Amino acid sequence: MSAFSANTFNSHDYSLYRPSYSTEFFQYIFQYLGLNEWKSESINILDVGSGPGTCILKIIPILKEVINNKETPLKKVKIFVSDLSNTMLNEAKINIDKVIRDSLESFEIEYIQSGGETIDLKINEQIDLIIAAECVHWLNSEKWLDCMHKLLKKDGVLAYWGYVDPVFTKIEGSDDKNRLKIANDEYNSFVYEEKGKLGEYWQQPGRSKLRALYKEVNEIALNNEGDKWYETIMCRRDPLIGEIETIFNNDGNSDGDNGKVSRFEFKDDVLKMEMRLTFEQLLNYMDTWSSSFKWNSSHEEKVSLLFGKKLEEKVGLKKSDDIVIEMKTVYLFTKKV
């Protein structure tokens, strides 16, 4: 995590090359929250580990549409944008200011530099929705869940998710499955196993928690179903082994204090992150990793250059070649009892 806080970290490239989330995914979160049946004039949202504002930039247009169509009483949105890195928060402010400049009367944004487990909003039980994208692995799972529980209103929603490790699923112009297997094997070796390479530069235990697709934090949340949380849903996708694991505890009949009736359709593919891109674009993405930042700061050859050479040698992959990848992903949504 410290790499993202460094003054020399390129937050612009981070925004440019990282995978993005679909509008459909955020609409899915708001469906789970019950936004279309909102009974209040205001909504309070907290973004944990906001980075350069990636998620907020996606949800603001959705919220603008809900306000403008006047089918609910919603008029005012307050968003708390939090990150440990001041570099990321500065980038987030630049990005978010651009999309709310025409709606300043509807949106209030507060920026908070803080670790996820220690966010202090002065007043507890004021948040309707907490989102946490690609950051939970940096945190102490139990302390973070306790902190989020304190900040949420009754029936408030906690939604967190993550992605890791691109899996080669197609090399355009080739039906050779052996090339895909070699590419995926070489990726795993270079990124994690090969001595003296990238594996030694990952911050632990964070990377291992992410590679396990949030097993630890998911188990804590699920073990508190009915006590602290309810209507928990979870989906883990691992395209490398073709596995999809789902949990769906939504009974479809809840009625919270805000008058939101749960009419929720569970989807196991809403966070399927499949991308068609060039091999060069994938290499640029690899250079945004925290481990790559550390490696590139102390070596002449960048991670992208080394891995590019390796796959050109092993499977004849060139930077201009088109590929299809799918990320391993996980999401969990739950509501406060």
What is the percentage of the chain residues whose pLDDT exceeds 90? 86
Calpha distance 332→271 (Å, rounded): 11
Q: What is the pLDDT of residues 312-321, one digit of tens each?
A: 999 999 999 9
Is residue 267 included in any domain, yes or no? yes
Cα-based torsion angle of the residue sequence 231, 236, 237, 241 in order, rounded to the nearest 10 degrees = -140
What pLDDT is attached to residue 261?
40
How many degrees, rounded to 5, is the angle at CA 160 between CA 157 and CA 163? Answer: 160
Q: Per-residue pLDDT averaged across 162-191, rounded?
A: 96
Q: Tell me which range, 1-10, 172-181, 261-270, is most confidently predicted by mean pLDDT.
A: 172-181
- Angle at which helix 215-223 crosses helix 141-151, to 10 degrees, equals 50
Calpha distance 148→129 (Å, rounded): 10
The residue ranges of DSSP E strands in the chain, in sequence order, are 42-48, 76-83, 107-113, 127-133, 152-171, 229-238, 243-248, 274-278, 322-336
Is residue 311 included in any domain, yes or no? no
Q: What is the pLDDT of residues 85-114, one digit of tens each?
A: 999 999 999 999 999 999 999 999 999 999
Return the H-helix or E-strand segment holding 76: strand 76-83
pLDDT at 31 over 60: yes
What is the rounded average pLDDT for all residues in the chain? 92
Is residue 320 included in any domain, yes or no? no
Looking up residue 243, the CATH number of its domain turns out to be 3.40.50.150
Is residue 35 included in any domain, yes or no? yes
Is residue 204 included in any domain, yes or no? no
Is residue 304 included in any domain, yes or no? no
Is residue 252 included in any domain, yes or no? yes
Which one-letter amino acid corresponds to residue 289?
W
What pLDDT is attached to residue 12?
52
Calpha distance 81→268 (Å, rounded): 28
Stated pTM of the model:
0.91
- Residue 33's domain spans which residues? 2-165+210-273+328-336
The count of C-alpha atoms lying within 13 angstroms of the C-alpha of 302, restricted to the half-sphere facing its C-beta, is 12
Residue pair 233/333 in contact by the 8 Å Cβ criterion: yes
Is residue 40 included in any domain, yes or no? yes
Q: What is the DSSP letter of 289?
A: S
Copy the structure tokens of residue 10. 């390129």
pLDDT band for 263, please (50, 70, 90 cuts): low
- Which residue, chain included where needed, has tokens 């097993």? 215
Q: How many domains does the chain have?
A: 1
